[in-house]
Every structure is written in structure tokens, then in C-alpha cells.
Amino acid sequence: MIKVTIDGHELEVENGTTILNAARSLGGDSVPPAMCYYSKLEGSGGKCRCCLVKVAAGSAKDPRPMPKLVASCVTQCQDGMIVESKNSQEVLDTRKAIVEFLLLNHPLDCPICDQAGECHLQDLGFEHGKAGTRYQEGRRVFNKIDIGPYIKLHMTRCILCYRCTMVADQLTPERVHGVMWRGEVSEISTYVHKAIENDFSGNMIDVCPVGALTDNTFRFKSRVWFLKPFNAHRSCTKCSGNVVAWKHGNEIYRITGRKDKYGEVEEFICNDCRFEHKNAADWTIEGPRLIDRHSVIGQNHFEAPYQDLLAKNLLK
Amino acid sequence: MQLTNRAKPVEKKAMNFSERIYLPAIMKGMSITFRHMFKKEPTIRYPEQKRDFSPVYRGVHILKRDENGAERCTACGLCALSCPAEAITMTAAERQPGEENLYREEKYASKYEINMLRCIFCGLCEEACPKEAIFLSNSIAMSNYGRKDFIYGKDRLVEPVSPPAEHVNNFEEVRREKWLSDTGREK
């Protein structure tokens, strides 16, 4: 166990823990935002630069500060390290700049995008970004691509976090898509638009932090804040069958994995569950999901929050 | 039982001479009647005549088209989200190739309904709209015989394809200029 100090809070973590995970165990405002790091995917992180923090003292042995801001998702804690996240103005200013960089080529077509309302880039821009834009040059233009029958790729919205390629690498035996080219021309592509036909390919939609990979079966069907998320399960031979069913009335509009508060799915689910079972009869509904108080998804839902109902013993 | 002490017993006095002939009372009544003929009318002959509205008057909604005549609304749902009366519902659809002149963006509202009985004309939909598609115009909701006639669909909300010139682009500005000239204010 080693001791680190994050924003003035001292905590003990396992040897080898990254600064981001240490901050997450602390919770609260000190947790740096992360667009590319995904705890369930090995090797993710270090690409989006959202999670940059200031290291005021490298370790107890060598207390010199690190010369530049470091990416907290790939930097391990040292004993006696002093980290500044939300307490450092330099970090906050850098986050503003990073949001500007991420939005350089982003089309800002949120009114059209199916991800709007649960988009990490939207949240990031809202919390850490500037209200205006200084960018006047043309943005990247791509045609929409159907990756197989279920997934739609909008390359214009992609922020190149590489999460989807890691899903393909680590969840499925053979990857048929990847990131082509380099630098500002790089793009996600399949080899000659080959369909991705793996049973778990749909998880690319869940791990995508923006609306670049979206569910074709849910395309333009509704906005996420008009739907109510319910925990549901079914017996599935391929996956655990534990999902979130997004309902409007008795109709299931879409199925996604269950995401934790950092937007990372708890269990990857199979395409069968995700795309093929949209009948309410296929699923056993466990109960409404807790929606974050600040989330737009909870808007216009006037019923008492799930935890209130639990506290009042109104749910059985 | 007496609840209050305000009750008055009815008095039945015998009428005097001037009361008995009724003429003074009739003259008094008719003078009031004839006096009103020369007063300014407080009412107007609606619908032939219409009153001027305030420039910020919020009437029936209108879904605007852009300068090329394509519908601006992309069915993003923010108007319905902001609506405190939950009067707005919509269904989105994807624009097909060849429909670029009809809809401005790749998604459009295939169905868009406002329940004018629910609507409280607060204008929050107008505020929320990121596409400058919905505006509250300065006409009032028409009366109707059935409740279902108050559910306005796209047929009544979307502005006509070739609207009068002043309505096309600078809707707000034209309204403001008209108000300035009507009220005799300097620009």
C-alpha cells in the first residue's frame, strides 16, 4: 500500500494503481474526466488527454514536481505523490483547451445524434468546456457507413479513443476493423467495409463515448430522455443476459448494457440480447434504474426516485 | 337562528307621485342609454378588425422553413423536453436521398403535434430550439368544435411553402419593425 494525496485528500492505494483509479476511489469532483480510458478494456487510455492532472510532488523519495501535466489514466501512483486535479487552475484551463481540441472536427450535430443526452463528450463540454467556439476552418467530412446490419458509423463524430477496436480485440476472436491512417486523417474503418458479424460486436456502441457508433435498430426512434431505463434480464446462452431495457410505455425501444457511474458497462452483452429481443415479453423487468439527478434522462419523469421508493418500502 | 346582523326587514312604503308616473325613472334610464351612443366603442368587430399585439406576444406556433424552403426542424425533442405542459409530441424519420430540398438535415419530424389545449403559450419551446425552427407567431389559436381539432399537426404548424416575403427570413425583425412603425417610435 502506498500513500497519495489528491486535491489535499490523503488516501492509501494498492501499489500500481493509476492516479485516475485512485481518484475514482476517492470520488467527488476530484475525479478527472476520461474519454478514452475504460477500466474493462486492457491498454485503453492515454489518448484523449482529458484526464491530465498536475503532479506537485513525484514521490516521497524524489519530491520534485513533474515538469508537465500527466495523463492520470496511465500514470501510476508513487508513495508520497501529491496530485492536484480540480484544485489546480492550470489543470482546469488545460481541460478547456482539450475540449476545444476534441471538438475541432466534431460536427456538433447533437440535435440529430442518437447519443445526445448520454454522450460523454456533451457532458465534458458542458462541465469543462467553453460556451463558444473559435474554430472557423472546415471540419472533416465522411459518409456514414453501415458496419454490418446493426451498427452505423458516423466517422465525423469520432474522437479516436480506440475503445471500439479494443473491444473487438479483447472480446472477439478476430478483429475486422481498426484505425486507418495517422494523425488528423486517421479514421475507423473495416477492411473494404466488411461487415462485423461477431456475437459481441454490439458492445462497440456501448463503449463509444460519442455518437460515432450507434445502434441501427434504434436509429432516430426516440430521444433517450423520452425513454425510461429499467434493469431487465433473460436467460441467454451467450452472455449474462443482464441488460438495461429502455422503455416508452410497454414498448422496448432499445437494449444496452448496464453502465456504472463512469459510463462503463458492467457486463458485455451479446448481439442477440441487444438487437433481436425487443419484445417486452422476452424480458423480466427487475425495476427502474437509478438516474443521476443531473442527467437529462431523468427529466419529465415525475415519479419519486428509485431510492426514495426503496426507503419508503414501496417496492417489493 | 341569526348568523349575521346584516339582514334588513323589507320596507313596503307607498310610492309618491313622481314614482307613480314612472317618467323620471324612464328619462334617467334612457339618458344613460343614449349617452353610450356617443361614447367610443370599447369593442372591435373581430374577426374583420384585429387588435395590434405586443411585439412579444406569444400566439400559435409556427415551424419555420429555411431560406431554401426546407423544414428546419430536426426532431431533436428539446421543445418537448422543455415544455412544462407536455403538449408537444413528435416522431422522427430519416431523410431519404432526394429529399434534401424538403428537410434541412438528415433527420426530420415525420409527425409533430402540439396540443393547443394543453399548451400554455409560455414560449419555452422557442427558447429551447437549437435550430430556430419553432416560433410563437402573433396569431391566436382558432376556436374549434371538437377537442381533437386542437391537436395541431404538421399540416397546420409548418409554414406554407411560399410564404409572403416578409415572413421568410427575418420573422422577428419584421415583427419588431412593424411594431416600431405602428407605435410611431424611432428606429
pLDDT digits (tens, 9 = 90+) for B9-37: 888 889 899 889 999 999 999 999 999 99
Band of pLDDT at residue B168, cut at 50, 70 and 90: very low
Residue A87 has pLDDT above 50, yes or no: yes
Distance from CA of A222 to the nearest CA of B (A): 7
Q: Which residue has the higher pLDDT, B183 or B66?
A: B66
CA atoms within 13 A on the CB side of B69: 9
Q: What distance lies between CA A103 and its chain's CA centroid?
A: 16
- Which cell numbers hold the place of A88? 489546480
The predicted model gives B71-97 an average pLDDT of 93
A110–B76 C-beta distance less than 8 A:
yes
Domain assignment of residue B110, given as a range:
61-182
Phi, psi of B12, rounded to the nearest 5 degrees = -120, 90
Residue A185 has pLDDT above 90, yes or no: no
Q: Each residue of A295-313: pLDDT tens digit?
A: 888 876 655 555 566 666 6
Distance from CA of A202 to the nearest CA of B (A): 22
The whole-angstrom separation of Cα A288 and Cα A244 is 9
Q: How many CB atoms lie within 10 A of CB A165?
A: 19
A111–B74 C-beta distance less than 8 A:
yes
Q: Each residue of B47-59: pLDDT tens digit?
A: 788 888 888 899 9
Contact (Cβ atoms closer than 8 angstroms) between residue B101 and residue B69: yes
CB-based contact (8 Å) between B94 and chain A? Answer: yes
Mean pLDDT of the residues in chain A: 88
Percent of chain B surpassing pLDDT 90: 50
A103-218: which CATH architecture? 2-Layer Sandwich (3.30)
The whole-angstrom separation of Cα A261 and Cα A118 is 12
Residue B148 has pLDDT above 70, yes or no: yes
Band of pLDDT at residue A176, cut at 50, 70 and 90: confident
Distance from CA of B164 to the nearest CA of A (A): 29
Per-residue pLDDT, B185:
67
Listed range (A24-28, A179-183, A195-199) with the worst mean pLDDT:
A195-199
Q: Each residue of A190-242: pLDDT tens digit?
A: 765 566 677 888 898 999 999 999 999 999 999 999 998 999 999 999 899 99
Q: Which residue has the higher pLDDT, A85 or A181?
A: A85
Reported residue count of chain A is 316
Q: How many domains does chain B have?
A: 1
ipTM metric: 0.80
Per-residue pLDDT, A296:
85
Distance from CA of A278 to the nearest CA of B (A): 19
Band of pLDDT at residue A57, cut at 50, 70 and 90: very high
Per-residue pLDDT, A301:
66
Per-residue pLDDT, A170:
84
Residue in the structure block whose three cell numbers are 410611431:
B184
Q: Is residue B46 part of a domain?
A: no
The predicted model gives A29-56 an average pLDDT of 92
Residue A316 has pLDDT above 50, yes or no: no
Q: Each residue of A111-157: pLDDT tens digit?
A: 999 999 999 999 999 999 888 889 888 898 888 888 888 899 999 99
- Which cell numbers hold the place of A123? 457532458
Q: Which residue has the higher pLDDT, A64 or B175?
A: A64
- Which cell numbers hold the place of A209? 463515448
Q: Which residue has the higher pLDDT, A209 or A177?
A: A209
**Which H, E and C letters describe A225-264, residue by residue?**
HHCEEEEEECCCCCCCCEEEEEEECCEEEEEECCECCCCC
The whole-angstrom separation of Cα A108 and Cα A137 is 14
Per-residue pLDDT, A310:
64
Phi, psi of A192, rounded to the nearest 5 degrees = 50, 50
The CATH number assigned to the domain holding B132 equals 3.30.70.3270
Q: Which residue has the higher pLDDT, B85 or A185?
A: B85
Of B76, B80, B94, the CB nearest to A111: B76
Report DSSP letters for B57-101, one per residue. ---SEEE-B-TTS-B------HHHHH-TT--EEEEEEEPPTT-TT
The contact set of A with B (CB < 8 A) is: 109-112, 116, 219-223, 225-226, 296, 299-300
The whole-angstrom separation of Cα A18 and Cα A71 is 10
Residue B136 has pLDDT above 60, yes or no: yes
The whole-angstrom separation of Cα A207 and Cα A202 is 9
Read off the amino acid at residue A195: A
The whole-angstrom separation of Cα A276 and Cα A95 is 40
The predicted model gives B98-114 an average pLDDT of 92
**Which H, E and C letters describe B111-172, residue by residue?**
EEEEECCCCCCCCHHHHHCCCCCEEECCCCCCCCCCHHHHEECHHHHECCCCCCHHHCCCHH
B80–A111 C-beta distance less than 8 A:
no
Q: Is residue B152 part of a domain?
A: yes
Mean pLDDT of the residues in chain B: 86
Phi, psi of A303, rounded to the nearest 5 degrees = -70, 160
The whole-angstrom separation of Cα A301 and Cα A299 is 5
Residues of chain A in contact with residue B105, where contact means CB-CB under 8 angstroms, are 109, 111-112
Per-residue pLDDT, B142:
75
Give which of B83, B88, B106 to mutate to test A binding, by max A Cβ within 10 Å. Answer: B106
Q: Is residue B86 part of a domain?
A: yes
Residues of chain B in contact with residue A214, where contact means CB-CB under 8 angstroms, are none
The predicted model gives A66-91 an average pLDDT of 94
A84 by DSSP, 3-state: which? Answer: strand
Q: Which residue has the higher pLDDT, A181 or A286?
A: A286
Q: Is residue B143 part of a domain?
A: yes
Band of pLDDT at residue B118, cut at 50, 70 and 90: very high
Per-residue pLDDT, A313:
61
Report DSSP letters for A190-226, one per residue. EGGG-----TTTTHHHHH-SSSSEEEGGGTTT--GGG
A111–B130 C-beta distance less than 8 A:
yes
The whole-angstrom separation of Cα A111 and Cα A248 is 20
CATH topology of domain A2-101: Ubiquitin-like (UB roll) (3.10.20)
Residue A68 has pLDDT above 50, yes or no: yes
Residue A77 has pLDDT above 90, yes or no: yes
B131–A225 C-beta distance less than 8 A:
no
Q: Which of A213, A233, A225 minimizes the C-alpha distance to A277?
A: A233
The predicted model gives A82-104 an average pLDDT of 93
Per-residue pLDDT, B71:
93
Q: Is residue B137 part of a domain?
A: yes
Residue of A nearest to B78 (CA): A111
